[in-house]
Amino acid sequence: MNPETEKTTTEEFKITGDAVVAKIKELVREGNIRRIMIKNEEGRVLIEVPLTIGVVGAVLLPVWAAIGAIAALAANLTIAVERREYGPAEDRSDPPVSPSDTTLS
């Protein structure tokens, strides 16, 4: 992956504790999330979850449980989302091919 075509941005969402899990599930479905952090009202990070492409479902069940427990204890939380954005030249579907990988027929 060419570092010049990938950029990372961060968004923050202020949300009540009872809506945290639903919002995170919505964000994960978008697919370009690199990391999610949940912060308390003072800005202290309570949990940080790095995500990789393809990590979904049963793998995240313990994470959902932890997030649910944190949400039950806090009234107002902030979800900080680090997103991976690709430039127009980046094609995520195929890995780059080096000249030694090609064969002539």
In a domain, residue 13? The reply is yes
In a domain, residue 104? The reply is no
**Mean pLDDT score of the chain:** 72
In a domain, residue 53? The reply is yes
pLDDT band at 99 (very low <50, low <70, confident <90, very high): very low
Domain boundaries, position 73: 8-86
In a domain, residue 92? The reply is no
How many degrees, rounded to 5, is the angle at CA 67 between CA 38 and CA 24? 65
Q: 34, 55 in Cβ contact below 8 A?
A: no
In a domain, residue 97? The reply is no
Q: Tell me the whole-structure pTM to 2 decimals.
A: 0.61
The pLDDT of residue 94 is above 80: no
In DSSP notation, 16-50 reads EGGGHHHHHHHHHHHS-EEEEEEE-TT--EEEEEE
**pLDDT single digits (tens) 16-66:** 877 888 888 888 787 778 888 989 889 999 888 887 655 555 566 677 677
What is the distance between the alpha carbons of residues 42 and 105, in angstroms, rounded to a whole number? 63
Q: Which of 41, 29, 32 is nearest to 79 (CA)?
A: 41
In a domain, residue 60? The reply is yes
Count the domains in the chain: 1
Which comes out higher in pLDDT, residue 28 or 3? 28
In a domain, residue 46? The reply is yes
CATH of the domain at 65: 3.30.1490
Token digits for 101? Answer: 């990988």
In a domain, residue 3? The reply is no
